[in-house]
Structure 1
Amino acid sequence: MASSLPDRYKKRLLKLSDQRITKDGVIVIKAQEHRSQEQNREEALQRLQDLIKNAICASQQRFAIALPKPRKPSKPTRSSQRKRLDSKTKRSQLKTMRGKVTDE
C-alpha cells in the first residue's frame, strides 16, 4: 500500500528509532483491544496519526514533521583552547616520566 505522506515526512519518520518501524520502512501498528474490527482499525489509525504528530527525535524533542534548525558552527574560546593544550602537555609529561630509568 503506497503512502500518501510527502517524502520529507517519510524520511524523518524512517530515521526514528521506533520498534514499530521495520528495516523495510513499514510501520506496524497492532490493535486488538476492541471486539469489533472497525473499532480496532480506527484505534490503529489514531495511533498512526499520533505517531506522525508526536514522533520525537532521539536527541532532541522535536516533532518528526518539523524541520530541524540549521546548525550554527561555533569556535572554542582562546582560554578553552589553552586549557586543552595545557592538559595535553601535562599528560604527555606524565607518560614520558613512566619510561625506563637509566643511569646517566
Structure 2
Amino acid sequence: MIQVTRRIAIAEDELHEDFLRASGPGGQNVNKVESAVQLRFDARHSPNIPEDVRPRLERLAGHRLTQDGVIIITAQRFRMRERNREDALERLLALIREAAVPPPPPRRPTKPTLGSKKRRLEGKSRRADVKRGRGKPPPE
C-alpha cells in the first residue's frame, strides 16, 4: 500500500505502468531506450478513494482523465526510467493529496456598512468638485 494521506492509501496493484520512448534530444540513445513512463490509475473504480474525494480528483485531473475514469500521467523529464517512475508516482500522489483537501466553506454574502457607503459618496463628490473646478470660468 502506498500511503497518500492519513486516511487514503492506494494499493500498488491499482497502478499500471507502460514504458515508451521519450521524445526530445538524446542522440542515438533516445531511439533504443524506453525511458518514459505512462502511469495509469483507475480513479473512478478505485475502492481506496473516498466518495467525497473522487469528484474533486476527476475535476483536478482535467485532460489527463479518460472517458473511463482512468488518470494517465506521462513522465519523461529525466533520462533514467527509474527517475521517471518516481516522478510520475509523485505527480499522481500530489494530485490525490490536492483533491483530498476539503473545499473552503461557501462565502456568506455581506452588505457594505453605512459608514463605508457614506465615505465612498463623500470621496466621489470631493473628486467631482475638483474636476468641476478645472473647467472654464463662468461668464461674468
In the other structure, the counterpart of 1:75 is 111
**Is the 8 Å Cα contact of residues 43 and 58 (structure 2) preserved in structure 1?**
no
**Is the 8 Å Cα contact of residues 29 and 48 (structure 1) preserved in structure 2?**
no
AA aligned to 1:83 is R
* RMSD of aligned Cα (Å): 3.1
TM-score normalised by L of structure 2: 0.46
AA aligned to 1:101 is P
Paired residues in the alignment total 85
Mapped to 2, the partners of 1:87 and 1:64 lie a distance apart of 46
| Bigger radius of gyration | 2
More displaced 10-residue stretch of structure 1: 39-48 or 89-98: 39-48
Alignment of 1:8-23 (within 5 A): 8-11=56-59, 13=60
**Is the 8 Å Cα contact of residues 30 and 44 (structure 1) preserved in structure 2?**
yes
AA aligned to 1:93 is D
Shift of 1:76: 1.4
Residue ranges of structure 1 left out of the alignment (5+ in a row): 15-23, 56-62
Residue ranges of structure 2 left out of the alignment (5+ in a row): 1-39, 45-53, 65-71
Shift of 1:102: 3.4
In the other structure, the counterpart of 1:17 is none
Question: Which protein is richer in strand relative to its size?
Answer: 2
Alignment of 1:24-63 (within 5 A): 25-26=63-64, 30=75, 32-33=77-78, 35=80, 37-38=81-82, 40-53=84-97, 55=98
Mapped to 1, the partners of 2:125 and 2:42 lie a distance apart of 57
Shift of 1:33: 4.7
